[in-house]
Amino acid sequence: MSSKKITISILILFLMLNITSISLAQSVDELKQNIDNHNNKIEKLEKEIKIYEKEIQTVEGEAKTLQSAVQVLDINQKKIGTEIKKTETNIKKTNLTISGLGGEIGEIEAKIESNTTAIIKALNDMRQKDEESLIENFLTNKSIAEVLDEYESISQFQQKVRDQSKELALYKKELSDKKIITEEEKKKLVNLKTGLNDQNKILEINKKEKNTLLSTTKNKEAEYKKILAERQAEKERFEKELFEFESKLKIAIDPKSYPSSGKGIFSWPLDNVFITQYFGKTIDSARLYKSGTHNGIDFRASRGTPVKATLDGTVVGIGNTDAQNGCYSYGKWILISHPNGLSTLYAHLDLIKVSQGQSVQTGNIIGYSGNTGYSTGPHLHLTVYASQGVKVQKYSSSINCKNVNIPIADVKAYLDPMLYF
């Protein structure tokens, strides 16, 4: 084999290993630019969502009128619409990321194939050379200088093969890593598509509520005030009868069956935490609740905000008190029992994403905040119980809520949630 053949082999090996990356460089740059453009769009949409949230807070803080109620629903509709656009943009960006990863994987696979082919060729060339003796090589060549040049080329070629073998191992590791990232992005894509579907449902709920509000009030402020007063009266009557009923319960609760306190036991149920009403006797609770106490804490949460499980557990109950007309209570609610002897209730939801008996993990999205039940505006209500003292049942002796399931608890079972965050 002549030194010219060896040199050509080295050149072929170099070209095989580099041509793919040159041809794909431009398309990769275009993909990255496209992804950056989507990130910029997402950032703008996030700023727009924050503006809507501030507007909702401002309007809700004003006097409660039909006009302000309709205005809140209109702003909510715009906000959810913007969130849908953000999710759609995220889906497009994630698809681009998956496409980019696919291109990178294809490039790595091409490099692996090129490396493998080149190494096989190199080994065959060297094997053929090994079968020729130095004297045979000398006799078939014009001069000893050519023989020495050939052997120097072979030595360089062997070093190149060794180097490429090391690169081959690195490429395989990189390929494995890229495939893992791709699978994670695909899972993210599935979650985004699920979230988009949820957001569209919440948008429809918001539109329906606005139509119902305008229909029932006949677009008259006096009718709206009358309806508000009736709801307030029914809510107070239910709270009174429930408080009296629960005060008479004598459920045995072992204080050792649950932690008395412990910071960090629970994770926050929302990404952005702003507490609007605390547990127990407060100025607001004396004004808002017949019992004079608030049995949980309230979080500011605009419509469609993802609500997350505060701790691993099992969903022991779900319900919707709005299923019975005149039952102004929790609206759509979820009760989760945790292994440490505590249970958590999430109320006033627009959408429930779990089912009874389902196991959940800390941080799982279990629903979306809303304005169901008796609520003066969209928010999340969270109650913490000693699990031994709470059960889900129909409150058959109630006047307006006897046909729906609700959590019923001994008053001793209600615990201050802030002891566990």
- The pLDDT score that the predictor gives to residue 151 is 57
Helix, strand, coil tally for the chain in percent (to 5): 60, 15, 25
Asked if 230 and 203 sit in the same domain, the reply is no
Last residue of a domain, one of 165, 184, 209: 209
CA angle 178, 181, 187 (to 5 degrees): 145
Q: What is the CATH number of the domain that holds 390?
A: 2.70.70.10
Residue 214 lies in a domain: no
Two tokens, residue 117: 């082919």
Give tens-digit pLDDT for 237-294: 888 888 888 988 889 999 999 998 999 999 999 999 999 999 987 554 444 444 567 8
Spell out the SS3 assignment of 164-229.
HHHHHHHHHHHHHHHHHHHHHHHHHHHHHHHHHHHHHHHHHHHHHHHHHHHHHHCCCHHHHHHHHH
Two tokens, residue 342: 């505590």
Asked if 258 and 119 sit in the same domain, the reply is no
Residue 314 lies in domain: 220-419
Asked if 235 and 379 sit in the same domain, the reply is yes
Q: Please list, in sequence order, all residues whose beta carbon lies within 8 angstroms of the beta carbon of residue 211, skipping any fewer than 6 positions away.
A: none
pLDDT in tens, the chain (421 residues): 454 454 445 444 444 444 444 445 557 788 889 999 999 999 999 999 999 999 988 888 777 899 999 999 999 999 999 999 999 999 999 999 998 888 888 888 887 887 778 777 767 766 666 555 555 555 555 565 665 566 566 666 667 767 767 877 887 888 889 889 999 999 999 999 999 999 999 999 999 999 999 999 999 999 999 988 888 888 888 888 888 889 888 899 999 999 989 999 999 999 999 999 999 875 544 444 445 678 999 999 999 999 999 999 999 999 999 999 889 899 999 999 999 999 999 999 999 999 999 999 999 999 999 999 988 788 999 999 999 999 999 988 888 898 999 999 999 999 999 999 9
Asked if 245 and 391 sit in the same domain, the reply is yes
What total number of domains does the chain contain? Answer: 2
Asked if 320 and 295 sit in the same domain, the reply is yes
β-bridge mates for residue 383, sequence order: 345
pTM for this predicted structure: 0.79
Last residue of a domain, one of 209, 237, 260: 209
Give tens-digit pLDDT for 264-276: 999 999 999 999 9
